Amino acid sequence: MRTSDDKLLDSYSQTVSGVFQHSSSAVVNIEVQKGDTPAGGSGFVFTPDGFILTNSHVVHGAKRIKITFIDGRKSEAQLVGDDPHTDLAVIRVGLQNLNYVQLGDSNRIQVGQIAIAIGNPFGFQCTLTAGVISALGRSMRSQSGRLIEQVIQTDAALNPGNSGGPLFNSQGQVVGINTAVILPAQGICFAVPSNTAKLIMTELLQYGRITRAFIGIMGQNVVLPHGIVHVGKLPVESGISVSGIEPNSPADKAGLAVGDIIVGINDQLVSSIDDLHRLLTNYSVGHPYILTIIRQFEKTFVRIIPISNQE
């Protein structure tokens, strides 16, 4: 006699198995040559004409990229563009009419939903692991040092080689790009959300790089003395102390000086370098903005025009 638990298990198994059967042919094994050391990871085809999404740290600096499909086909791939700040990259193979998967809306996922990962851990090609979405809205640092926002946490087992592979929902849509695990913890794994990937890959496909606003300072987080917070009526208790300025940069042209403490840009508070990075990512290049700074214990304002980080 079948119990309700049996029916639940059957339904779960059918869901997970269905995602694998529908999507696994779009997941690829990536082998790269960096110097004398071979490395690898995973990726997935997101267009029928051979565009593949993966992690930046998998392919960045690679001299050669080779792709293997689940059916054994192999192909050389070329780097279209990568963004170390979000750990995302697009590569392409010269093949047509490929099976591909679609990116879903990562804003719609909920804690407790089924999470299905397909990748190539330790070279074991097209391995499936399943679990749940453990948490949302996490932050983690990319290898460049910037924060990646809205990161998805899952307990679907990930291992070296899973990097760049897809994290699916129960409908077979990619909601995350697997990027990191915490060692030696078990069941704490992270994925870059698909909505971030959509924005990044669109710009990589068009320009091969991500353009971010740049002002040209070196700085460090500092705690503001209580007197400055009180006298300046500041809604923050920390800011960025400017420790260096690049010659001819926007900061140099705006008259920023070493020792200035940045606490705001336009009407947005800035209490840390991460805050400034986040705001500059969203701000337009070539448009003027107003920095709120503390200079010699007094609050003042500086007009600055960010330039492209590529200039």
b/e per residue 116-135 (b: at least 16 CB within 10 A): bbbbbbeeebbbbbbbebbe
- How far is the CA of 72 from the CAs of 27, 44, 126, in angstroms? 12, 15, 11
CB 137 within 8 A of CB 152: no
User: Environment class of residue 303 by beta-carbon count within 10 Å: exposed (0-12), middle (13-18) or buried (19+)?
Assistant: exposed
What is the rounded CA–CA span in Å between residue 22 and residue 184?
33
CB 188 within 8 A of CB 153: yes
Catalytic residue flag (residue 163): yes
Task: Identify the active-site residue in 23, 24, 57, 271.
Answer: 57
Task: Give, rounded to a whole angstrom, the gap between the first and last alpha carbons of the chain.
Answer: 71
Catalytic residue flag (residue 42): no
- The DSSP line for 218-234 is EEEEEEPPHHHHHHTT-
Catalytic residue flag (residue 75): no
Residue 46 DSSP SS3:
coil
What is the rounded CA–CA span in Å between residue 155 and residue 212?
33
Task: Identify the active-site residue in 83, 87, 260, 275.
Answer: 87
Task: Identify the active-site residue in 23, 24, 42, 163.
Answer: 163
Which amino acids are annotated catalytic? 57, 87, 163
